[in-house]
Structure 1
């Protein structure tokens, strides 16, 4: 979430670990609760990660593919939503089609999980937004539908983890060589399992790192950070950040204070 400090006045975010078995496919469950009853509607912006989400929300459950732009959600009144954040590549075993078909869009969850997804959505929306209650419901739903383990999905998750944990990794061909693949093989794997190209994942990881520094409240040496993240210069980082977030990094950082 962008501007997490500002969002905290409106949004309460809770995370829970999935049950053993489900954790091979799911990174965590997230529960968002908001209360805008005494204030104007609030727009929350999210710089998405390379993950597919199953979201239980009003009016029905939906599956969200990787959003390669800036995800914006308008919050009004009081409400909650429960999300299942799949590991990179972790949603592919639940479907018979490439995950790239979900990029930048969402579809009703019933297309993948049948009418039981909508029935569970009614239960989640109608009952109390208790994190443990909702975790138990999500666990039961997924454990009854777990696919066979997919070693390729595990390998893709490791590739994305390598990108996100190694700011010094800047080039697609370096990633491909590290995992013993050709660049085209890597691109096909990411289209099939992630829903975004390896180049996009690399770039988005750098922007997340820049946003993390901006949200820290500390003074940032943007030229030094640009160099650390593999940009040719500060102007290149500024262009990328502005294109993705809608404001230059220094101005974004000022708004986070």
Structure 2
């Protein structure tokens, strides 16, 4: 479904992504893991059409051009950005309406909003409330629901557990698993590598803009050569 070859992204003279190759097949959860500054967010922003890039990105065998976010959204790529990107001074309902602006089937789209209120009951209860008054976890639910309303074929999730309490973080990872069961394809950026590798099919480990390891998530989770700094393992107690 998604093929990335030789991806490079620059911020001025700084090369933030240095020749990344990655693939995402339909129905997979693929994770990008690594420390802050590894290039994970920059990579998904380029895929979403929010950053200039060199190299090639193809989606369903069609080449994507840099800086064409609306075109990519219409093609079926939706991004839930780091920090959620909700419109805080607008109501919950108005935020969801923003999720259907690119759809021609407005009657079906509004029916999808009703289904989102069923799936995320708290959003239905607070549909008239300003989005800025939601808790962090509720805002993340809103951001995900808004992205799903575009009926994407590929969902890009950038640090969806960032800043959330442990219980809400578990809820988010549970939702990601549900989405995969529903047939959604997900490219997931996360620093919580241990939790991420439990839900992902495959993963790429990034460091300073390069892929340094990739493979099945279960294999990476059990690979002793991967730094404890990435997976958060603790060493066994010494006798």
TM range (shorter): under 0.3
RCO comparison, higher one (Cα < 8 Å, 6+): 2
Q: What is the TM-score when the length of structure 2 is the normalising length?
A: 0.26
Q: Which has the higher strand share?
A: 2
